[in-house]
Structure 1
Amino acid sequence: MSNARFISSRRRFLVGSALAAGSWLVPGLRNAVWAAGSDAPEKPQVRVGFIPLTDCAPIVMAALKGFDKKHGISLQPSKEASWAAVRDKLASGELDAAHALYSMIYGLHLGIAGKQQAMANLMTLNNNGQAITLSNQLRTQGVIDGSSLQQRVAASEPGTYRFAHTFPTGTHAMWLYYWLASVGIDPFRDLRLLVVPPPQMVMNMKIGNLSGFCVGEPWNQRAISENVGYTAVTSQQVWPDHPEKILATRAQWVNDNPHTARALTAAVLEAARWIDASDDNRRETARAIAGRAWLNTQADTITGRMLGQYQDGLGHRWQDAHGMQFFRDGEVSFPWLSDGMWFLTQLQRWGLLKQQPDYHAVARAINRTEVYRQAASAVGNIVVPQSEMRRSTLIDGRVWDGSNPAAWATDFAIKRRGEPA
């Protein structure tokens, strides 16, 4: 079945399911612009930060395809050097909003990723599309998967192997830790952990500084293309259809600019829908974001995995059923409370939080479902779920639905308490 026919069939199924379950389909005129009179955005120009990763695509395409103008704003993407820079510029107000790591924003809201500041998640930008890359040096030592890595680590002195993620409370740290623990490796006890900005991962592995890393695309594919490393596991193998980057801002910014927040969310939401509408749109997106102003890499490095066409550098190729997705009839974009709560359980598990938080209250404060619903109405024809919780099964067979987060956070054999080293 072609991608377009699959999307059409899936849309009919979801709409029917949503109506049967009591969800609602937001009506709207196809070319309506909700940016007039008292609904006009307070800020005509919106500066939005991004890191050069494939999943910044909805922000870039919202600007390049004119979806921002349709909703009464001029989106100004700002390329940033690291997630720490994104954090600092968001907190200071130098950026109005940003393409951001989901759990980084939760950490900032709780004061464990920098000076505490109330934050807001306007929408999820993508599901899936990250990976854990191991070095070719490990491959020569017989390491090809989690089991063989565990054996090698167990036979070595603690700290022998150096693994990197992109931010201490970020999503890549959480995927890395979860996968390592699932194969019997304690990341804090057994490894040396480093923080490296995404564009610097491949070079650090090339010069021998890293045994492994977890990062977003295109840097895992770049490691394969440059014969530096290979994909050991994708993030969607850890959690199929997991939340990844979000459209983040400060809570005060939303309070001060409610119409701008709605317009920004609507523009990016419309771009996400456009990207997912066809493989041709995905190819066009890959060519656009490959440019020097954005990712500054070859389009071919982006395109394959963006289309779900994977190869791991060990001779295996497959069409991934859970490749990077940006919209999927609104399932991707909705800021599910249970997604935010899951990251809180992992911050608790790894000792980054000193005590159990009020999981639901924190997620409710950050994830602005009311802004998303307004934006979905402005865009039109968006299925918005009635429930704000969803159910998922992770790599170790554990089922997450947000129903008992405190118990879920503590029910792991490998976990950490107290201040991390």
Structure 2
Amino acid sequence: MTDSQNTTRADNLAWVAGSDAPEKCMLNLGFMPLTDSASLIVAATQGFAQPYGLTLNLQRQSSWASLRDKLLCGELDAAQALYGQVYGIELGIGGPSAEMAILMGLCQNGQAINLSEPLKRVGVTSSEALGRHVRHDGARLTFAQTFPTGTHAMWLNYWLAAQGIHPLRDVDTVVVPPSQMVAHLKAARIDGFCAGGPWGALAVEQGQGFTLATSQMIWPDHPEKVLGVTREFVERYPNTARALTMAVLEASRFIDGSLENRRSTAQLISGSDYVDVPLSAVEPRFLGHYQDGLGNAWEDRHPLRFHGDGQVNMPYLSDGIWFMTQFRRWGLLRDDPDYLAVAQRVQRLDIYRQAAEALGIEVPPLMRSATLIDGRTWDGSDPAGYARSFPIHALAGNARAIAL
């Protein structure tokens, strides 16, 4: 901890006194066994919450559906959540509906699409070969993702479509909790998966498959996990929401602060209470060192990030809107919602701005732009037109049922 960080903490002790004191001091914080849960684990275990009057009780979850259910019933106060998962709940897509809130982004990048060892043996080791295998050889492959409205479903759909493979017609998809992906691959129940770390790296390490694409290849510095709560929680405990955001912001800044901090964080989260895998499956990609299982190694230009001077943590309106465009694209929404209005409800920019400004973290513009793998630029300006613009989509179809 640097002297300036200690000074910042001391200055912000004022937030735990008087009218700014947290209304609720002990919080149950849900997380999944993933490398990108790091900021929550660090905040809870390394002294970042106590200065704000909080005690964070970490509770590891077995699936995103279980995490959702516990968050909605109040068993969890806040949780690591998939960006698209929060919007799916807000819009009532195929499951429990509730008014939701995103306090901040937790990370960018760091997810992977892996294929199986049997596909490797028959030469399906590139996107072109996969396209030929599916479209011309008539192979019916099964891919796993982690939650129907979640980020991994959207990355998988987007990437397949960019290769000319229709994700709803040309392949089958199933939902599998991230920690079970490698076992399903080994048992030949699936031919590939999209999930967060360390599961892509572990599949490579165990000789069960190879990484064909990373999520940052699809969208460099894409939105990924968020700190999610119900809107009722924010309205009932606004000081607590702000204090929690500040604690996790400080933890995020700490992780990205140095290579040493990253190494120590990788060591921490690999432990049995958290991700529970060998450090060798966590640390390399945590540090941006990639091996794909095909003999290729590289230093990633867009590695898993937790802070990036606040660029990672900002709950951009355009990020939330993008996921809704994909719901519309794939028939999960029958009609266009009021994209901007929904995002303005869900993204709690007021809470984030208060927390960031108190910590001296710059608050960037509410919209950002990016060019994705298919060459299309997203800037949030015309979401309805963007959703309709793709050559591969399912806009005319009915919303698919989701029962998880």
TM-score range, shorter-chain basis? over 0.9
Matching residue of 1:406: 384
Q: Higher mean Cα deviation, 411-420 or 388-397? A: 411-420
Say if 2:250 is the partner of 1:270.
yes
Give the superposition deviation at 1:77.
0.9
Give the superposition deviation at 1:354.
1.0
Matching residue of 1:11: none
Provide the rounded CA distance (Å) in 1 between the counterparts of 2:345 and 2:399: 25
Deviations 1:188-231 (A, max 9, x none): 10111100000000000001111110000000000000000000
Instruction: Write the mapping of 1:97-112 to structure 2, written as runs, cut at 5 A.
Output: 97-112=78-93
Mapped contact 2:147–2:175 kept (Cα < 8 A): yes
Provide the rounded CA distance (Å) in 2 between the counterparts of 1:342 and 1:137: 35
Listed as ranges, the gaps of 5+ residues in structure 2 are 1-6
| 1:58 aligned residue (34, 39, 59) | 39
Give the superposition deviation at 1:299.
1.3
Instruction: Write the mapping of 1:17-416 to structure 2, written as runs, cut at 5 A.
Output: 29-32=8-11, 33=13, 34-157=15-138, 160-378=140-358, 380-385=359-364, 387-416=365-394
Provide the rounded CA distance (Å) in 2 between the counterparts of 1:376 and 1:186: 41
Deviations 1:132-179 (A, max 9, x none): 000011111211111110100013447x21100000000000000000
Computed over aligned residues only, the root mean square deviation of the Cα atoms, in angstroms, reads 1.1
Provide the rounded CA distance (Å) in 1 between the counterparts of 2:94 and 2:228: 15
Provide the rounded CA distance (Å) in 2 between the counterparts of 1:30 and 1:71: 9
Mapped contact 2:102–2:347 kept (Cα < 8 A): yes
Q: Counterpart of 1:246 in 2: which secondary structure?
A: strand
TM-score (norm 1): 0.91
Provide the rounded CA distance (Å) in 2 between the counterparts of 1:251 and 1:274: 28
Query: What residue identity is the alignment partner of 1:262?
Result: R
Give the superposition deviation at 1:419.
2.8
Provide the rounded CA distance (Å) in 2 between the counterparts of 1:277 and 1:346: 34
Provide the rounded CA distance (Å) in 1 between the counterparts of 2:210 and 2:240: 42
Listed as ranges, the gaps of 5+ residues in structure 1 are 1-27
Q: Counterpart of 2:39 in 1: which secondary structure?
A: helix
Mapped contact 1:310–1:319 kept (Cα < 8 A): yes
Provide the rounded CA distance (Å) in 1 between the counterparts of 2:213 and 2:387: 23
Mapped contact 2:29–2:79 kept (Cα < 8 A): yes
Provide the rounded CA distance (Å) in 1 between the counterparts of 2:248 and 2:184: 33
Deviations 1:5-46 (A, max 9, x none): xxxxxxxxxxxxxxxxxxxxxxx9452221111100011101
Q: How many residues align?
A: 391
Give the superposition deviation at 1:186.
0.4
Mapped contact 2:94–2:400 kept (Cα < 8 A): no
Give the superposition deviation at 1:115.
1.8
Mapped contact 1:99–1:245 kept (Cα < 8 A): yes
Q: Counterpart of 1:174 in 2: which secondary structure?
A: helix
Provide the rounded CA distance (Å) in 2 between the counterparts of 1:113 and 1:315: 41
Provide the rounded CA distance (Å) in 2 between the counterparts of 1:120 and 1:420: 24
Query: What residue identity is the alignment partner of 1:288?
Result: L
Q: Counterpart of 2:302 in 1: which secondary structure?
A: coil
Structure 1 residues 115 and 49, CA, compared in 2 at 3 Å: closer, same or farther? same
Provide the rounded CA distance (Å) in 2 between the counterparts of 1:31 and 1:113: 46
Mapped contact 1:113–1:168 kept (Cα < 8 A): no
Q: Counterpart of 2:386 in 1: which secondary structure?
A: helix
Q: Counterpart of 2:283 in 1: which secondary structure?
A: helix
Query: What residue identity is the alignment partner of 1:407?
Result: G
Q: Counterpart of 1:144 in 2: which secondary structure?
A: coil
Provide the rounded CA distance (Å) in 1 between the counterparts of 2:80 and 2:101: 12
Provide the rounded CA distance (Å) in 2 between the counterparts of 1:132 and 1:105: 22
Mapped contact 1:51–1:81 kept (Cα < 8 A): yes
